[in-house]
A and B are shown apart, each in its own frame.
Chain A
Amino acid sequence: MRRETLLRVYWVYIEEIIMKTVLHAEKIRKSFSGNEVLHNVDFTLMSGEIHALVGENGAGKSTLMKIFMGEYRPDSGIISINGKLENIQTPAQALSLGISMVHQELHYMPYLSIADYMYLGREPRNIFFLNRAKKIELTLEQLNNIGLEINPDNKMGQLTVSELQMIEIAKVISYGTKILILDEPTSSISETEVERLFEILKFLKSKGVSVIYISHRLEELNRIADTVTILRDGYRVITDKLSNLGRDKIINKMVGRKIEEIFPKRNMEFKDIFIEVKGLTKKDEFEDINISVKKGEVVGLAGLVGAGRTEVVTSIFGEKKVDKGHIYINGKQVKIDNAISAVKKRIAFVTEDRKLSGLNLIGSVKDNISSVILKETSQFGLLKLKEINKKVISMIEKLKIKINTDEQLVSSLSGGNQQKIVLSKWLLIQPDLFILDEPTRGIDVGAKIEVYKLIHELAVNGKAIILISSELPEIVSLCNRVYVLHEGKITGELTGNEITQEAIMNYASG
């Protein structure tokens, strides 16, 4: 071994004894096809530490994690686990070293029971035969450890996103994981569930398990993380105790821009009501919803997960039948039967889950962006190719979508770029009302800023906007007025300065 490496090994060894370093990575470099995505990144994780990893998409977070998980091999650099130099070649090896990851999008088998899933591949046996009772007993033990009261015989398909996550965490704990990597764990779970997750993390911390916590939700980090590392463009920008860094400084370091640029100011004068919803009711989903939006106004719909916000806007868009209620546009009563009818009335809907209902992932960028305006730009059913091209290019330029060619498949793009494509396709029909359901979910801070700027621009141009967001700072900063929902009913309406996180949470909890 070279002298330098030897010295490093000794230093890491000392670190391990005195300071219980659980993972130490130094000067990690990684390139793909000549493109260097990690430049000499260092990363250190202590025992029992909750270490937040923050950075825009493309900053290198997932590449670094994949290296720790054995899915990629670094071009150069060293990794040591518990003071011992390791060459992590395969995910199985990473697992045996005590490193495991709970992904943002969980894959699971819906027809397996919790116990089956938990002990898949290592079912307890009575010599030859499977010991089902033992399996249930062990599963209950694991579930108890994390405080989850649920029947181990329940099928995985019956569980909520949050429960699936808990099971996944319990499973990796049962494997004896010492380094747990969580990728955006709170993006699809409610406030109470977040609390429960944090309890579990604190429990793990007390047992000496370390957590690498990847999240875009800076508010949460204050509540749970000890240290934060910020990556930008493949460089480690800073690592520091969370207490030393404030939210503004973190954003600044992530993005290299100042916070004032993030939430642009708007004027507060509005004229005519564009859309009015009265008495909208659907059994078991929402009741007596009364909403109005003026031209140029940004109206927020806040509430906990499951409060019915998405259901309400989907009904306004016509893709959900209601039992009662009327909709008025520009004072006249209208009937919106489906998306086609809604678009005719100049309403656009950016849905909550772009992969499910916003994009054709196996379609090209061009096809996706042009998908709504196809009929408009046609003559006798034939496509006007030049016009479509022009419009698509104008959107790509306006929203700064990063692509190689417009024939590229949408599935190859980052979350932020994908969301821009969804926005593009709606911008092209020049709607009067924009319904945005969680428009910044799963996208990096840089792209978020551009979405906020777009919302601001649309409002200034007199468009009416309904915004659903679970990130309260977004609601507080962007909206002129907010309706708060709780279990399908509107519990409060806040205007101007009344809009604060506390007030919203108050109404949202009933």
Chain B
Amino acid sequence: MQLNRINIKDISQIAKKIGILWVFFALSITIAILSPNFVKALNIITVFKQISMLGILAVGSTFVLISGGIDLSVGSIVALAGVCAAMFGGKDMNLPLFIPIIIAISVGGAIGFLNGVGVAYAKITPFIMTLGFMISVRGLALLLTNGKPIFGLNEGFMNISNAPLFRIGGVAVPNMILYFFIVVILMSIVLRFTVFGKWLYAVGGNEESARFSAINVKRVKLTVYTINGLLAGLCGVLMASRINSGDATVASNFALDAIAASVIGGVSLAGGVGTIWKTIFGALIIGVMQNGLQILGVSPFIQTIVQGLIIIIAVFFDSRTRSVQ
């Protein structure tokens, strides 16, 4: 009996480390076999397009979750940032493109900053703080657009996300994917090679111990929510560019999707555990699964059912490994 217990512990630890890769490959290969269209260049680009935004948000949510917090407001921040970008991206204004981009990111950062102030200084529990903002910020976006999407944007606006970076075999790879990779690479360097990254793990692992170790817990939390806000802001402008409008109703699922991707990627909801690359594979699994089920003509409702189940299974393995420790 004792021997069996050790085996399960070993297996789930190894599974945790590389399991995600196996799941991803198993999934991809299965779908590829079932439908050869899957591996065509156009389809692969589509998958990456679909997870570009999810990926950026998942990176941010990984940071927040590792620090022991949670951010439910990212979807609303995306909408608000997109609306703000559209407000300054109109044909009539004809401002250089970097202005709406900077504004969107700044708005995102500002909301994130406020989240951070509430959590770190007012000691409001993150779930509640970001839930409140999720609702209010959405309201603010709707207020700014008066409920109607903003159209008539600058010609170049669409290019922010969609302009082809280069072509592979005749298929265009849009800018979005570049932004995605830049964010992923940059943020994974921050998480692994900076002092701030180590502080995130320390605060998430044991906040009290981190405080006694002279780590500025308040500032760490403030920073992480601000970063998440900035990333959501970036995502907002990418979204607005993609749909070529400022729409206050978009991205309502984004927060949960981002958290789901992180959790599938092994980030613990209790904090202190997780890496960027595994989260990206979590996002890829979601993307591949959505894409595969689409290609196979499966109802989008079934996609949603399966996605929920995957999250449950991933969290099950997470809690199992934690409690064994």
Contact = CB atoms under 8 A, between A and B. Distances in A.
Given A73-B1, A343-B214, A371-B213, A361 B205 contact: yes
B194 A361 contact: no
Nearest to A90: B1
Given A374-B198, A374-B199, A382-B194, A356 B213 contact: no
Interface string B172-202: 0000000000000000000001111011011
Given A363-B202, A367-B202, A372 B195 contact: no
B273 interface: yes
Contacts of B208: 356-357
Contacts of A351: 212
Nearest to B322: A362
Interface in B189-239: 193-196, 198-199, 201-202, 205-206, 208-216
Interface string A349-383: 10100001111111100010011101100100111
A371 B273 contact: no
A404 to B, nearest CB: 14
Interface string A490-506: 00000000000000000
B272 interface: yes
A360 B199 CA distance: 11
B193 A359 contact: no
B212 to A, nearest CB: 5
B206 A360 contact: yes
Given A371-B210, A371-B213, A362 B196 contact: no
A370 B199 CA distance: 11
B195 A374 contact: yes
B318 to A, nearest CB: 12
B304 interface: no
Contact of B216 (A340, A342, A383, A411): A340
A355 to B, nearest CB: 9
Nearest to A66: B2
Contacts of A441: none
A342 B214 contact: yes
Contacts of B202: 360, 363, 367, 371
A317 B212 CA distance: 9
B325 interface: yes
A343 B205 CA distance: 21
B190 to A, nearest CB: 9
Interface residues of A, number: 35
B2 A73 contact: yes
For B205, B213, B322, the residue with the greatest tally of chain A CB atoms inside 10 Å of its CB is B213
Contacts of B214: 339-340, 342-343, 372
A372 B213 contact: yes
B96 to A, nearest CB: 31
A72 interface: yes
A374 B195 CA distance: 6
Contacts of B322: 362
A351 B322 CA distance: 25
A371 B213 CA distance: 7
A375 B195 CA distance: 6
Contacts of B198: 367, 370-371, 374, 383
Contact of B212 (A349, A367, A370): A349
B201 A367 contact: yes
Contacts of A363: 201-202, 205-206, 272
Given A360-B202, A362-B272, A382 B193 contact: yes
A178 interface: no
A408 to B, nearest CB: 12
Given A360-B272, A367-B201, A381 B195 contact: yes
B49 to A, nearest CB: 33
A236 interface: no
Interface in B1-58: 1-2, 6
Interface string A159-185: 000000000000000000000000000
A358 B212 contact: yes
A330 to B, nearest CB: 20
Interface in A307-349: 317, 319, 338-340, 342-343, 349
- Residue in A33, A360, A382 whose Cβ sees the most chain B Cβ within 10 Å: A360
Nearest to A356: B208
A412 B193 CA distance: 25
A425 interface: yes
B212 A383 contact: no
Interface string A25-48: 000000001000000000000000
Contacts of A317: 212
A374 B201 CA distance: 13
A443 interface: no
Contacts of B196: 381
A374 to B, nearest CB: 5
A338 B272 CA distance: 23
Nearest to B273: A362
Contact of B211 (A73, A339, A362): A339
Contacts of A339: 211-214
A40 B267 CA distance: 45
Contact of A381 (B2, B194, B201, B213): B194
A362 B199 CA distance: 14
Given A363-B272, A374-B198, A383-B193, A411 B325 contact: yes
Contacts of B211: 319, 338-339, 357
Contacts of B272: 360, 362-363
A409 interface: yes
* Residue from the set A357, A358, A361 with the largest chain B CB neighbour count within 10 Å: A357
A73 B4 CA distance: 13
Given A339-B214, A340-B214, A367-B202, A360 B194 contact: no
B1 A360 contact: no
B212 A357 contact: yes
A360 B210 contact: yes
Contacts of B195: 374-375, 378, 381-383
B270 to A, nearest CB: 9
A357 B209 contact: yes
A363 B200 CA distance: 11
Contacts of A372: 213-214
A383 B202 CA distance: 15
Contacts of B210: 360, 371
Interface string A464-481: 000000000000000000
The 9 closest A-B pairs by CB, nearest first: A360-B205, A343-B214, A339-B214, A357-B208, A360-B206, A340-B214, A378-B195, A371-B213, A374-B195
Given A73-B1, A357-B209, 13 more contacts: A72-B2, A339-B211, A343-B214, A351-B212, A356-B206, A356-B209, A358-B212, A360-B205, A360-B206, A363-B201, A378-B194, A382-B194, A382-B195
30 contacts: A319-B211, A319-B212, A339-B214, A340-B215, A340-B216, A343-B214, A356-B206, A356-B209, A357-B208, A357-B209, A358-B212, A359-B206, A360-B202, A360-B206, A360-B209, A360-B210, A362-B322, A367-B198, A367-B202, A371-B215, A372-B214, A374-B195, A374-B198, A381-B194, A381-B196, A382-B193, A382-B195, A383-B193, A383-B195, A412-B325
